[in-house]
Structure 1
Amino acid sequence: MAPHDSTLQPSPTLRVPLGKGAHFDVRLTNPTAGDLLAEIERHLLAGQGFAIATINLDHVVKLRHSEAFRHAYGSHSHVVADGNPIVWMSRLSGRPVTLVPGSELVEPVAAMAARTGMPIGFFGASDDSLALAAAALEARHPGLRIATRIAPRHGFNPAGAEADACIAEMATSPARLWLLALGAPKQEIFAARAREKLPDRGFLSIGAGIDFIAGHQVRAPKFVQALALEWAWRMFGSPLRLVPRYARCAAAMPGLAGAALQQRFVRGQP
């Protein structure tokens, strides 16, 4: 991963145990949302591309079992903590970062794009969600231009021929920054592929961010988010789908905590 420009303490590394003594290291490149947003603007104004992933426990579970996902993460220039457990692990390791959810980056990125006149593109979700989200953001941020909206078909393969066709369409668009709303691991695998072919563009994975803005999904109330219980809010809304996922996430916590503490003690921190 490329170095970042922050003058803060060295970037922490999230160590993901893979079993049999192996591990996969994910460098958390930006400790705060403000640091990341400033870097996005600098890169875009300089014509430099990037790919930004927002890691959470579900990603950790997928990283443990998918070599393709690990390869995609290793190709990203920026990674931030999208989940309180990731923040807690950074504190255990002695190099804390703050929470930077991908879905909460959409509004400030839109504001930056409007201010600088930088066209952006949407990729993922549905045609309806893309249209509603584009209209809402352009109304809230005068001067913002959503230059291109692409909704791939259901079952989209981020490593297949359709992905190459979408990247070719992106190449003809004036959009310099693309918000990817495919969900993990598709959006990260696609971002790595697109960045390789379009090195002057930026790619930001935002998960359900477009559906939130379109009103097709609802975020947990602020007090629930403040209590770090948004996972419970989501689980009760979709138990059949999310209870197994969160059980796998919970099972990953002890290994992550042990790896974080080991990193702290190796550096000799109290």
Structure 2
Amino acid sequence: MQTTFPTVTVLGIPFVKTTATALLSELQRRITQQQNTFVVTANPEIVMYAHDHSAYHDLVLGADFITPDGVGILDGAKILKQPLPERITGFDTLQALLAWGSTHHRSAYFLGAKPEVIAQLKPILARDYPGLVIAGIHDGYFQDEAPIVADIQEKQPDMVFTALGFPKQEQFIHQYRHVTKGLWMGVGGSFDVLAGAVIRAPKFWQEHHLEWFYRTVKEPKRLKRIAVIPHYLHLVRQQAKRMPPRG
């Protein structure tokens, strides 16, 4: 992983130690200069999956930037006595890039989510980001990825956003990022939120680092995903104990 920012390594994953504003500025610079860029937005669930799957771990390390998407990552960094400035979520980064892209008439390709979500998303993108060039938009329910990859290669978008869920979205980017000179980022369920199919937690919950709780109340099936947090924090504490004293 090559980055212009210092990093804090939590369970083998090096997170950028910077602000959302500084990261956005760097991503915009790289897009403008046509530098191929791979961004991973990682929460504790992704860190734990990488911890248990070495191939995925190595793949993630190939990203240019890994951002702390989740308060659990900030908690882990604090336990290691290497605090990170703030949470940098995939959804906020996506929105900021779309707004910038609209202002500067950049192009974006959208891949993922359910067909009905994509149908909802199309008019919302046109309304909210009128200057953005939609190079392509495709749901995540495909049997053959070859035509999609060929379309991305032909369109050469400035940005490719994959909402396929981990590990699939990162695996897709790792395999095909070479076909453009643009930015590639996995954004999980962000298309659902953009389309209004899933309501994001109100600002109060976000600002008090309780977005995870709000979403779990709204979607009880997320409980299984939240269950990885205690084990994750236990492993981080073990990592902290193995670290040499800082003097």
Take 1:128 and 1:60, find their aligned partners in 2: how far apart are those partners?
Answer: 30
Query: Residues 176 and 189 (structure 1 numbering): CA distance in 2 closer, same or farther, change over 3 Å?
Result: same
Q: 1:204 aligns with which of 155, 168, 185?
A: 185
Corresponding residue of 2:83: 96
Take 2:101 and 2:167, find their aligned partners in 1: how far apart are those partners?
Answer: 26
- The number of residues matched between the two structures is 246
AA partner of residue 96 (structure 2): P
Mapping of residues 199-238 of structure 1, within 5 Å: 200-238=181-219
Name the SS for the 1:147 alignment partner.
strand
The answer as to whether partners of 2:59 and 2:171 remain within 8 angstroms in 1 is yes
AA partner of residue 59 (structure 1): I
Name the SS for the 2:39 alignment partner.
strand
What do residues 22-77 of structure 1 show as CA deviations (whole Å, max 9, x unaligned)?
xxx21113521112111111111111111111111111221122233213202211
Q: 1:145 aligned to 2:133? A: yes
Take 1:188 and 1:260, find their aligned partners in 2: how far apart are those partners?
Answer: 28
Corresponding residue of 1:3: 3
The answer as to whether partners of 1:53 and 1:73 remain within 8 angstroms in 2 is yes
Take 1:234 and 1:198, find their aligned partners in 2: how far apart are those partners?
Answer: 36
Q: Percent identity?
A: 24
Name the SS for the 1:44 alignment partner.
helix
Q: 1:243 aligned to 2:223? A: yes
Name the SS for the 1:109 alignment partner.
helix
AA partner of residue 36 (structure 2): G
AA partner of residue 219 (structure 2): S
AA partner of residue 123 (structure 2): A
Shift of 1:225: 2.0
Q: 1:75 aligns with which of 54, 62, 65?
A: 62
Mapping of residues 186-205 of structure 1, within 5 Å: 186-195=168-177, 197-198=178-179, 200-205=181-186
CA RMSD of the aligned region, Å?
2.0
Shift of 1:206: 1.1
AA partner of residue 246 (structure 2): G
Q: 1:168 aligns with which of 111, 127, 150?
A: 150
Q: Normalising by structure 1, report the TM-score.
A: 0.83
Name the SS for the 1:2 alignment partner.
coil
The answer as to whether partners of 1:53 and 1:204 remain within 8 angstroms in 2 is yes
Take 1:100 and 1:92, find their aligned partners in 2: how far apart are those partners?
Answer: 19
Q: 1:268 aligned to 2:234? A: no
Q: Normalising by structure 2, report the TM-score.
A: 0.90
Name the SS for the 1:215 alignment partner.
coil
Name the SS for the 1:204 alignment partner.
strand
Query: Residues 199 and 175 (structure 1 numbering): CA distance in 2 closer, same or farther, change over 3 Å?
Result: closer
Q: 1:13 aligns with which of 9, 12, 16?
A: 9
AA partner of residue 37 (structure 1): L
Shift of 1:152: 3.1
Take 1:126 and 1:69, find their aligned partners in 2: how far apart are those partners?
Answer: 24
The answer as to whether partners of 1:120 and 1:177 remain within 8 angstroms in 2 is yes
Take 2:214 and 2:126, find their aligned partners in 1: how far apart are those partners?
Answer: 29
Mapping of residues 54-65 of structure 1, within 5 Å: 54-65=41-52
The answer as to whether partners of 2:44 and 2:229 remain within 8 angstroms in 1 is yes
Corresponding residue of 1:181: 163
